[in-house]
Amino acid sequence: MALLQERKQEIFAAYQKHPTDTGSSDVQVAMLTERINQLSTHLKIHSKDFSSRRSLLKLIGQRKRLLAYIRNENRDHYKALIQRLGVRG
């Protein structure tokens, strides 16, 4: 199930750098995190859904690469972002 438009707007508003920002690294990571959370709950119920599991792993890899990019650019910003998103326990 894809993200609802209202939820996307909430994420954009929370992580935008300027009013028309929909593609910065922060926004992309936040969107991926939301989708990863959705797929994780789906897989808890439907444990044999292997195509969703594969999609989840692809999304996790993509988020990992984006977070590595942010970490290389600005370590303080990276730490603040992962704290705000609640990833990397």
pLDDT in tens, 24-81: 999 999 999 999 999 999 999 999 999 999 999 999 999 999 999 999 999 999 999 9
8 A C-beta contact, residue 43 and residue 36: no
Q: Which one-letter DSSP state was computed for residue 46?
A: -
CA dist., res. 55 & res. 64, Å (int): 14
Q: Which residue has the tokens 């797929």?
A: 39
Query: What's the CA gap between 57 and 16, in Å, rounded?
Result: 26
* Alpha-carbon gap, residue 41 to 76, rounded angstroms: 30
pTM of the model: 0.92
Considering the segment(s) 5-85 as one domain, its CATH architecture is Orthogonal Bundle (1.10)
Domain ranges of the chain: 5-85
